[in-house]
Structure 1
């Protein structure tokens, strides 16, 4: 199985708002961004995050896709659409100290997100009748999938750069994963 993971294109966020589950628009000129995307036409399965910033990409290329809630970015709860600088220090500092276990106010922590992503990933990779898959999603989701495949410590997941509008390609062959391409 060949699995293509693509991050949505750049968003319009000049105020540096915290967002994950919240809808935030793609940047002006996003149709121009779409021109540089490499979307092939031979996918057996196409799954997108239900976030508009992902669905716009799928709709633009007229892809026959389904959405899956598990492919959403991290749920930042009460912090969603607040400026990062406006989140109270007593709320954000514990999370900064341990984003793996500390939940965002009214949201989730990285372990919660990992559980939902791996639920999707394990279900997908157990399919035997699928050769090529496209997943349209977010940087956090892609990082967690790469963490599962490469088995690096969870606290190192932000060491991997996931560019807007770029693909990661992972192969699964006889139970063995290999990362073939990154940010292409």
Structure 2
């Protein structure tokens, strides 16, 4: 299976914030720019006009714009970013260093923020990928999947495509892809 996944545009006031499933808005110009970029890519590569998005508005609104341009927009809750629980939407500077150290000490399985662990995010990403693979098998299709997702989800998908497992230490977590950046993955 081929997956083309773009990271959503940069939301308002996201700098310095622990941003997981907090539903922050994005400037309409940035949303339109990414939708146009995806539309050109699809036209250039003669791809199906189907886009998968998370229900968070920084992803969903790109899908809605594409739907206005003739795309079929599919919403998948499993495409959402890591759930940072009580940390979500707070400035990183407001989160106690001890709590962050606790998380990093057991990076794969800890969730001191009472949200989702990195291992749980891996399971969720694997589930979405398996769902797409099963649908392709049922439809006897090898058409690529196009999606607008989030940095953590994309990092996990990249690690899975490379045959890597859940990182045990925070230092092994990759840098996030840039806003609006396309990642091309094969499973």
Q: Whose strand fraction is larger, Structure 1's or Structure 2's?
A: 1
For structure 2, the 5+ residue unaligned runs are none
CA-based RMSD of the aligned residues comes to: 2.3
Conserved 8 A contact 1:6-1:135 = yes
SS of equivalent to 1:99: coil
CA drift at 1:38: 3.1
Query: Residue 37 in 1 paired to residue 37 in 2?
Result: yes
Q: Whose helix fraction is larger, Structure 1's or Structure 2's?
A: 2
Aligned length: 172
C-alpha separation between the residues in 2 aligned to 1:108 and 1:100? 10
Output the TM-score relative to the length of structure 1: 0.81
Q: Give CA-to-partner distance per residue, 1:34-57, whole Å, 9 cap, x none.
A: 376233153264321111000111
**Counterpart position of 1:133:** 145
Farther off after superposition, 73-82 or 17-26: 17-26
Conserved 8 A contact 1:18-1:80 = yes
For structure 1, the 5+ residue unaligned runs are 172-176, 178-184
> Residue 109 of structure 2: which of 84, 101, 109 is its match?
101
CA distance change for structure 1 residues 14 and 118 in 2, over 3 Å: closer, same or farther? closer
CA distance change for structure 1 residues 14 and 110 in 2, over 3 Å: closer, same or farther? closer
Conserved 8 A contact 1:44-1:133 = no
**Counterpart position of 2:26:** 26
**Counterpart position of 1:181:** none
